């Protein structure tokens, strides 16, 4: 792989992704139990158009596509940042306990207060952030090294997983509503959810821009980064906080969507290298496109059944990931 | 002028200690820190570069205490190349060297200034890596990768560069390449260079100043020519060697270490015999029972001195691994059998037994020749004692005063 082809490839991907993203959005708006022709989409947005189309587009598809974009973007950004912070290409938001914490909080909410569906995102968000903070501070011993964070994450995940299973067994009658959420999906997500997540998602994505530089420096390893005058512990803590904000936001609305945070940054890394100036924006775009596309597929392919997008992503993601690993082996 | 001054650095990690390390690193010079593995060299570098903290003591860079520097400020004064085979990100050479500018930039500054670009170009030129600027780090050879890492440190434009074993993973030609490059940087730009080296010859050939450590202590420092002596090698590395300098290179010829210090016991039974009767004693001795089958028996000689004054002397010398082996023989039934019914013949005037416990030190006669055979194998193959003696220095550790008569 010569550098010429790397920089060429970077350029091509940078140019291609906006189009991919646009097509994905159009596909998501267009496709469904009622297909809406692209020109009708324009008419609806510009001048009102057909009332039925308008209702479907504005009330159903637009918020769902927007949520898909944000969820994918947040998960991929979180995964990309964590892979750098942990210096481990196989890290994903699950490592720092985000998913497990969100899951427990969501189930507790349903058990304690079954009518509180409205507050589910807020509770999951709080749980996700709380457990990632717990992981970080459990790992702290004059600094939180990546290895300790991973170990603390394993411990916290195991504990929270046990709590989740326990609650589901004991209160099996009350947790029906939570099962699709645990599988990770966007069914029935609407403006209410978008309004909840959008500020955090946008804030997190905007904060990712200044995170690019420290993420790049941490890639060199703690010692080299320190010798370059960086406050490594502080930066790592802030990056982990940012990653848990991003992942927690996604989890709050979409539930436990796995693999996006792992596969998208990993695939992008193979295409454009480790430089976060390329890796992060491309992961954000790639994650957004992937989740939106997969969600459109999940709600239409198996019509009239809607499959949770998390299941579809895992089904597609697992083999794809194995292919990536095999390819990587050849490269090394 | 002193670039770095440490005062009484203390560190106790249980298994490892730094014990009051006080060193002055001269400014604008090349300094090597040498010493056996685990002597604290790398730890010292890490503490000086603030990667690790000491339990006590002070470090000054220039005339400022290191803890008064802000992180970025410190990274503009001093940097280090860690000993590393660590994973490095997949970036081009120029991108990696550009990292070196980080301490010169504010957090929000991303654009490279003219000064930054100049520093990056200088660092790549000084290390000869500019021709690879667009290549990915991982496509370079080990030696080139090391130069890129040095270039990144140079781009920091610090006055002091520490290197932890910069040549360890390189082949000889790349080692010399890197050392010469560092020498050039020192000469042309007055860069203060401090490195941990394992190769004493390179340390002596390229460095002005040598610091030797052992067990967390500084045990020698000064000009390499004055420091590297046989005494130094024995004390610091526990090796016996001859040292001679060829230009700036010390030639160190190790003397093979004694593999083990073994001992043996020499029992000398000397009898004074009436003139002309010596052969009788020798005949008589032939009848002494089965000594060659005894445990711990190493050899036997019968020495005859004729015509001394008015008597002759016969010495029967037996060599044993331990005194107990000899005693076991005198108690053995074969020995008792051969001595029974025998009176001391009248031609024996007197008889004396001495025990000598000796230490065997094996030394090669000259470097390069075969090491001496062991006493045991020489004896067992029936060689004359003379040849064994020539290969051994036999130190008499103790001469027993015991005088006995064999009944």
Count of CB pairs separated by less than 8 Å, A with B? 75
Q: Which of B240, B255, B270 is the last residue of a domain?
A: B255
Nearest to B134 among A3, A213, A269 (CB): A3
Which residues in chain A are contacts of B52 at CB distance < 8 A?
none
Q: Which of B72, B91, B105 is most worth mutating to test chain A (most A CB atoms within 10 A of its CB)?
A: B91
Distance from CA of B83 to the nearest CA of A (A): 10
pLDDT, chain A, mean? 85
Q: Which of A228, A234, A332 is most worth mutating to test chain B (most B CB atoms within 10 A of its CB)?
A: A228
Distance from CA of A277 to the nearest CA of B (A): 11
Dihedral sign computed on CA atoms, order A300, A303, A309, A311: negative
Which residues in chain A are contacts of B69 at CB distance < 8 A?
none
Q: For residues B48 and B142, state if they share a domain.
A: yes
User: Are residues A1 and B136, on separate chains, in Cβ contact within 8 Å?
Assistant: yes
Q: For residues B209 and B347, state if they share a domain.
A: no
The confidence score (pLDDT) of residue B321 equals 84
- Tell me the per-residue pLDDT of A135-179, one tens digit each, with 9 for 90 and over: 888 988 877 788 888 889 999 999 998 998 888 888 888 777 777
What CATH code is carried by the domain that includes residue B215? 3.40.50.300
Q: How many domains does chain B have?
A: 2
B292 touches chain A (CB under 8 A): no
B69 touches chain A (CB under 8 A): no
What CATH code is carried by the domain that includes residue B285? 3.30.70.100
**What are the structural domains, with CATH classification, of chain A?**
3-86+94-331 (1.10.3470.10)
Claim: this prediction has a pTM higher than 0.90 = no
| Residue B307, burial from CB neighbour count under 10 angstroms (0-12, 13-18, 19+) | exposed
The confidence score (pLDDT) of residue A211 equals 93
User: Are residues B75 and A227, on separate chains, in Cβ contact within 8 Å?
Assistant: yes
The confidence score (pLDDT) of residue B99 equals 92
Give dist(CA A317, CA A160) in Å, integer.
25
The confidence score (pLDDT) of residue B398 equals 38
Domain hosting residue B98, numbered range: 2-255
B99 touches chain A (CB under 8 A): yes
Q: Compute the residue count for chain B.
A: 407
Whether B407 is covered by a domain: the verdict is no
Considering only residues A222 and A34, tell me which one the structure prediction assigns the higher pLDDT: A222
- Tell me the per-residue pLDDT of A61-73, one tens digit each, with 9 for 90 and over: 889 999 999 999 9
Nearest to B136 among A6, A226, A229 (CB): A6
User: Are residues B74 and A87, on separate chains, in Cβ contact within 8 Å?
Assistant: no
pLDDT tens string for chain B (407 positions)?
Answer: 888 999 888 888 877 888 888 999 999 999 999 998 888 888 999 999 999 888 988 999 988 999 999 999 999 999 999 886 666 787 889 999 999 999 998 877 778 889 999 999 999 999 999 999 988 888 888 889 999 999 999 999 999 999 999 988 888 998 999 999 999 999 999 999 999 999 898 999 999 999 999 988 899 999 998 899 888 888 888 888 888 888 888 888 888 665 556 788 898 888 888 877 777 777 776 656 677 777 788 888 888 877 666 788 888 888 888 888 888 888 887 777 777 666 677 778 888 888 888 877 665 554 444 444 444 433 333 333 333 333 334 444 333 333 333 33
Q: For residues B282 and B207, state if they share a domain.
A: no
The confidence score (pLDDT) of residue B363 equals 59
B260 touches chain A (CB under 8 A): no
- Band (A92; pLDDT cuts 50, 70, 90): confident
Which residues in chain A are contacts of B153 at CB distance < 8 A?
227
Q: For residues B268 and B138, state if they share a domain.
A: no
Nearest to A274 among B76, B89, B153 (CB): B89
Q: For residues B205 and B319, state if they share a domain.
A: no
Distance from CA of A228 to the nearest CA of B (A): 5
Whether B247 is covered by a domain: the verdict is yes
B79 touches chain A (CB under 8 A): yes
Q: Which of B46, B49, B71, B82 is most worth mutating to test chain A (most A CB atoms within 10 A of its CB)?
A: B71
User: Are residues A229 and B103, on separate chains, in Cβ contact within 8 Å?
Assistant: yes
Which residues in chain A are contacts of B109 at CB distance < 8 A?
none
Whether B404 is covered by a domain: the verdict is no
The confidence score (pLDDT) of residue B13 equals 82
Q: Which of B215, B232, B255 is the last residue of a domain?
A: B255
Q: For residues B342 and B244, state if they share a domain.
A: no
- Tell me the per-residue pLDDT of A22-59, one tens digit each, with 9 for 90 and over: 999 888 888 877 788 878 877 877 887 788 888 888 88
Give dist(CA A305, CA A180) in Å, integer.
13
Nearest to B49 among A1, A87, A227 (CB): A227
Distance from CA of B51 to the nearest CA of A (A): 7
Q: For residues B109 and B223, state if they share a domain.
A: yes
The confidence score (pLDDT) of residue A179 equals 79
pLDDT above 50: residue A332: no
User: Are residues A3 and B136, on separate chains, in Cβ contact within 8 Å?
Assistant: yes
The confidence score (pLDDT) of residue B369 equals 44
User: Are residues B74 and A4, on separate chains, in Cβ contact within 8 Å?
Assistant: no
The confidence score (pLDDT) of residue B85 equals 63
Distance from CA of A204 to the nearest CA of B (A): 17
Which residues in chain A are contacts of B71 at CB distance < 8 A?
226, 229-231
Whether B406 is covered by a domain: the verdict is no
Nearest to B89 among A1, A3, A219 (CB): A219
Strands B30-34 and B297-308: unpaired
B92 touches chain A (CB under 8 A): yes
Which residues in chain B are contacts of A217 at CB distance < 8 A?
99, 102
Which residues in chain A are contacts of B74 at CB distance < 8 A?
229
The confidence score (pLDDT) of residue B362 equals 63
Q: For residues B208 and B273, state if they share a domain.
A: no
Buried-exposed string B99-119: b where 16+ CB fall within 10 A, e elsewhere: bbbbbbbeeeeeeeeeebeeb
Cα–Cα–Cα angle for A278, A282, A288, rounded to 5 degrees: 160
- Tell me the per-residue pLDDT of A184-211, one tens digit each, with 9 for 90 and over: 888 878 888 888 889 999 999 999 999 9
Reported ipTM: the value is 0.78
The confidence score (pLDDT) of residue B185 equals 93
Q: Which residue of A has its CA nearest to B75?
A: A229
Q: Which residue of A has its CA nearest to B110?
A: A213
List residues of A whose CB lies inside 8 A of any B CB. Answer: 1-4, 6-7, 87, 210, 213, 216-217, 219-221, 223-224, 226-231, 269, 273-275
User: Are residues A273 and B87, on separate chains, in Cβ contact within 8 Å?
Assistant: no
Q: Which of B222, B238, B255 is the last residue of a domain?
A: B255
User: Are residues B82 and A227, on separate chains, in Cβ contact within 8 Å?
Assistant: yes
Q: For residues B374 and B245, state if they share a domain.
A: no
- Three-state SS for B54? coil
SS (H, E, C) chain A: CCHHHHHHHHHHHHHHHHHHHHHHHHHHHHCCCCCCCHHHHHHHHHHCCCHHHHHHHHHHHHHHHHHHHHHHHHHHHHHHHHHHHCCCCCCCHHHHCHHHHHHHHHHHHHHHCCCHHHHHHHHHHHHHHHHHHHHHHHCCCCCCCHHHHHHHHHHHHHHHHHHHHHHHHHCCCCCCCHHHHHHCCCCCCCHHHHHHHHHHHHHHHHHHHHHHHHHHHHCCCHHHHHHCCCCHHHHHHHHHHHHHHHHHHHHHHHCCCCCHHHHHHHHHHHHHCCCHHHHHHHHHHHHHHHHHHHHHHHHHCCCCCCCCHHHHHHHHHHHHHHHHHHHHHHHC
Q: For residues B162 and B26, state if they share a domain.
A: yes
| Residue A25, burial from CB neighbour count under 10 angstroms (0-12, 13-18, 19+) | buried
Q: Which residue of B has its CA nearest to A232?
A: B71
Q: For residues B281 and B209, state if they share a domain.
A: no
Q: For residues B277 and B341, state if they share a domain.
A: yes
Q: Which residue of B has its CA nearest to A278?
A: B91
- Tokens standing for residue A34: 């009622």
User: Are residues B82 and A273, on separate chains, in Cβ contact within 8 Å?
Assistant: no
User: Are residues B82 and A229, on separate chains, in Cβ contact within 8 Å?
Assistant: no
């Amino acid at each position: 792989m010569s550098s010429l082809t790397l920089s060429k490839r970077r350029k091509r991907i940078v140019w291609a992704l906006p189009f991919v993203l646009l097509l994905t959005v159009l596909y998501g708006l267009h496709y469904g139990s009622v297909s809406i022709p692209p020109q009708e989409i324009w008419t609806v947005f510009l001048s009102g158009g057909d009332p039925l189309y308008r209702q479907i587009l504005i009330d159903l598809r637009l918020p769902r596509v927007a949520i898909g974009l944000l969820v994918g973007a947040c998960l991929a950004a979180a995964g990309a940042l964590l892979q750098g912070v942990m210096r481990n290409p196989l890290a994903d938001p699950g490592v720092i306990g985000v998913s497990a914490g969100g899951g427990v909080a969501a189930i507790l909410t349903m058990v304690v207060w079954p009518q509180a569906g409205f507050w589910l995102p807020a509770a999951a968000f709080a749980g996700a952030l709380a457990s990632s903070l717990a992981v970080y501070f459990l790992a702290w011993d004059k600094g939180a090294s990546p290895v300790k964070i991973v170990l603390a994450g394993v411990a916290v995940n195991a504990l929270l997983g046990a709590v989740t299973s326990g609650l589901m067994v004991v209160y099996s009658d009350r947790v029906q509503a939570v099962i699709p959420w645990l599988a990770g999906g966007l069914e029935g997500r609407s403006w209410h959810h978008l309004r909840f997540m959008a500020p955090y998602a946008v804030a997190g994505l905007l904060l990712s821009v200044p995170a690019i530089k420290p993420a790049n420096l941490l890639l060199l390893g703690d010692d080299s980064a320190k010798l370059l005058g960086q406050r490594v512990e502080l930066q790592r803590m802030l990056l982990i906080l940012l990653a848990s904000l991003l992942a927690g936001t996604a989890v709050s609305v979409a539930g436990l969507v796995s693999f996006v945070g792992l596969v998208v940054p990993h695939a992008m890394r193979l295409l454009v290298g480790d430089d976060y100036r390329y890796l992060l924006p491309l992961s954000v775009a790639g994650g957004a496109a992937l989740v939106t596309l997969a969600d459109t597929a999940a709600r239409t392919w198996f019509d009239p059944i809607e499959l949770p997008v998390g299941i579809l992503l895992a089904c597609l993601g697992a083999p794809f990931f194995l292919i990536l690993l095999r390819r990587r082996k050849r490269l090394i | 002028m002193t670039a770095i001054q440490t005062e009484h650095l203390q560190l106790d990690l249980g298994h490892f200690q730094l014990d009051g390390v006080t060193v002055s690193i001269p400014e604008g010079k090349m300094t090597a820190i040498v010493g056996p593995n685990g002597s604290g060299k790398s730890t010292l570098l890490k503490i000086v570069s603030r990667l690790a903290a000491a339990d006590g003591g002070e470090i000054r860079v220039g005339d400022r205490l290191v803890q008064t520097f802000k992180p970025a400020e410190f990274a503009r004064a001093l940097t280090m190349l860690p000993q590393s085979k660590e994973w490095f990100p997949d970036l081009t050479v120029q991108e990696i060297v550009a990292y070196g500018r980080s301490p010169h930039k504010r957090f929000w500054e991303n654009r490279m200034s003219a000064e930054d670009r100049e520093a990056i170009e200088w660092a790549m030129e000084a290390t000869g890596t500019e021709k690879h600027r667009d290549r990915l780090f991982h496509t370079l050879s080990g030696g080139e990768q090391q130069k890129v890492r040095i270039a990144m440190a140079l781009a920091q434009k610090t006055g002091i560069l520490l290197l932890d074993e910069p040549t360890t993973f390189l082949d000889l030609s790349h080692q010399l390449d890197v050392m010469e490059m560092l020498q050039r940087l020192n000469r042309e730009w007055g860069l203060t260079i401090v490195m941990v080296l394992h190769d004493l010859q390179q340390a002596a050939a390229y460095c002005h100043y040598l610091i030797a450590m052992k067990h967390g202590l500084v045990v020698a420092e000064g000009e390499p020519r004055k420091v590297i002596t046989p005494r130094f090698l024995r004390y610091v590395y526990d090796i016996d060697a001859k040292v001679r300098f060829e230009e700036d290179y010390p030639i160190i010829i190790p003397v093979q270490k004694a593999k083990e210090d073994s001992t043996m016991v020499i029992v000398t039974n000397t009898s004074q015999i009436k003139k002309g009767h010596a052969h009788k004693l020798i005949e008589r001795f032939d009848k002494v029972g089965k000594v060659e089958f005894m445990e711990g028996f190493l050899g036997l000689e019968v020495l005859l001195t004729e015509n001394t004054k008015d008597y002759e002397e016969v010495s029967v010398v037996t060599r044993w691994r331990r005194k107990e082996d000899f005693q076991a023989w005198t108690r053995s039934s074969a020995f008792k059998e051969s001595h029974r019914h025998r009176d001391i013949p009248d031609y024996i005037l007197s008889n004396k037994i001495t025990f000598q416990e000796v230490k065997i030190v094996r030394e090669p006669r000259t470097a390069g020749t075969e090491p001496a055979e062991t006493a045991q194998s020489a004896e067992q193959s029936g060689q004359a004692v003379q040849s064994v003696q020539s290969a051994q220095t036999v130190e008499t550790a103790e001469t027993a005063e015991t005088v006995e008569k064999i009944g």
